[in-house]
Structure 1
């Protein structure tokens, strides 16, 4: 029987959000007590700054979305609350569109590189098979897994997420202002990281398999996420909810739950939703 040891997550933002809520509560209490503090601490630009800071911390300061939110928050805070005139207010929206376009183009190029690697692997294996070795569907799976590995040696689907089928043992999907629909067929699923910001992710794990305790990071910010899991998996949600909803729509059959197959969901749901289903 698998032992659930509750491993420490290096990317858990629950503690950060706890301090954020604590800080807001203290500021509201000080206001009720008539104790003075700068009003901009509870202004709407601070919301953008807090969201951007938390997202950057959770993604080890490598999040495009977090950087944009932090940048906009700082700009509007300095302009509206402190009277700074940058003279670029007429250019903010066009510049934002340009940055978003560059980001999407970059991710599409990365997706194209991944698909090209898959085709190259298949061509190489086809060439080898013509010299006497057999070529089967398992070779295609090996090519897919090999091409999905990033520079750090971990399997990934690309920053923008490539909709379709994946044989990788790990998933790494960022759906930002977009939607990603992915079906995972790995028989040794190892978890990964899912981020939906102003977008949505549908991850189908109904034909996947895992052994022991597997942790997956799920972060939803103004978006939605749906996970379809096998009915015999033990799925445990340990997410932080802020103005969000988590719906577990699985039909519980306690006698059919396999204690050796545990999927632990960790992360933050902020102004979004997470839905878990099984068939």
Structure 2
């Protein structure tokens, strides 16, 4: 329960300080104090978003780094005349950086999955020592049909799999909707959270069939995109998401019995000019 005792920072306090600061600056200008014009320019908004996101995520946010770079570049170019000769290269460089990030992120996640697989196989070999077989695992597909497969099958060695129909048996979310759309239905009974990134794209994720106990975290980063999460109505959803010109709505139909405090989902991340909807069937 220590994870639940952390300060619930949904970004509203920081946004309040930003608005307060803007108001103070405008007041000082009206009173005749000299305030440089670039302080209230639009690149400063990107810089503020980048700095805030980096601080919140302990300087490990790709989104925050990109916002800080773009804001600094346009501020120096528009207000101080420093172009650095990057004007014609800014978009190609941006695409290259994005591609490198996605490649390295996939490799990092693959390494994590490999470590999980090795640990799982190690534990499984210890528990099955001296026996001729291991109990078969039951898999339920999207039509409700059951089939069995040996737990020694490599396709079930910790990482899960995704059918061509969009049904996924992965235990962790790993969704990247970059200039595209993603539609997934998850069936894991050992759900562990994960991450969702939507940039100029969207994702519809059905989590109504997954199960877990305790506290899980889902990192959600949305910029000019949208994400819909379909979850059971009794989950305890807690948000620590920063909304900037964006929307976050919980549209679930709550039923009798209230929320189940043994199933807590903590949403973290940043939504910029986008939206996140939480729904239930």
For normalisation by structure 2, the TM-score amounts to 0.70
Which residue pairs with 1:25 in the alignment? 23
- Which segments of 5 or more consecutive residues in structure 1 lack a partner in the other structure? 149-156, 158-162
**1:232–1:258 CA contact under 8 A, matched in 2:** yes
Deviation of the 1:217 alpha carbon: 4.2
Distance 1:80 1:141, change over 3 A: farther
Instruction: Name the stretch that deviates more: 39-48 or 258-267.
Output: 258-267
Which residue pairs with 2:80 in the alignment? 82
- SS in structure 2 at match of 1:255: coil
Distance 1:27 1:201, change over 3 A: farther
**2:178–2:200 CA contact under 8 A, matched in 1:** yes
**2:53–2:270 CA contact under 8 A, matched in 1:** no
Instruction: Name the stretch that deviates more: 245-254 or 138-147.
Output: 138-147
Which residue pairs with 1:278 in the alignment? 280
Which residue pairs with 1:225 in the alignment? 227
Q: Which string of whole-angstrom CA distances, capped at 9 and with x for unpartnered residues, describes residues 242-266 of structure 1?
A: 3222232222223364344343434
Alpha-carbon distance in 2 for matches of 1:40, 1:141: 61
Deviation of the 1:123 alpha carbon: 11
Q: Which string of whole-angstrom CA distances, capped at 9 and with x for unpartnered residues, describes residues 221-253 of structure 1?
A: 332121111133233445443322223222222
Deviation of the 1:206 alpha carbon: 0.6
The residue correspondences of 1:260-275 to structure 2 (distance < 5 A) are 260-275=262-277
Distance 1:54 1:143, change over 3 A: farther
For normalisation by structure 1, the TM-score amounts to 0.70
**Residues 1:38 and 2:36 aligned together:** yes
**1:114–1:147 CA contact under 8 A, matched in 2:** no
- Which segments of 5 or more consecutive residues in structure 2 lack a partner in the other structure? 139-150
Distance 1:269 1:140, change over 3 A: farther
Q: Which string of whole-angstrom CA distances, capped at 9 and with x for unpartnered residues, describes residues 28-52 of structure 1?
A: 2223333220110111111221222
Deviation of the 1:111 alpha carbon: 7.0
Distance 1:189 1:28, change over 3 A: farther
Q: Which string of whole-angstrom CA distances, capped at 9 and with x for unpartnered residues, describes residues 189-221 of structure 1?
A: 444444434333333221112334545443433
Distance 1:189 1:119, change over 3 A: closer
Instruction: Name the stretch that deviates more: 224-233 or 95-104.
Output: 95-104
Query: Aligned-pair RMSD on alpha carbons?
Result: 4.3
Alpha-carbon distance in 2 for matches of 1:80, 1:261: 49
**1:118–1:143 CA contact under 8 A, matched in 2:** no
The alignment of Structure 1 onto Structure 2 pairs a total of residues equal to: 261
Which residue pairs with 1:252 in the alignment? 254
**Residues 1:210 and 2:208 aligned together:** no
Which residue pairs with 1:165 in the alignment? 168
The residue correspondences of 1:1-279 to structure 2 (distance < 5 A) are 6-8=4-6, 13-107=11-105, 132-134=132-134, 136-137=136-137, 139=151, 146-147=158-159, 165-168=168-171, 170-171=172-173, 173=175, 175-237=177-239, 239-255=241-257, 257-279=259-281
Alpha-carbon distance in 2 for matches of 1:115, 1:70: 31
Alpha-carbon distance in 2 for matches of 1:11, 1:5: 13
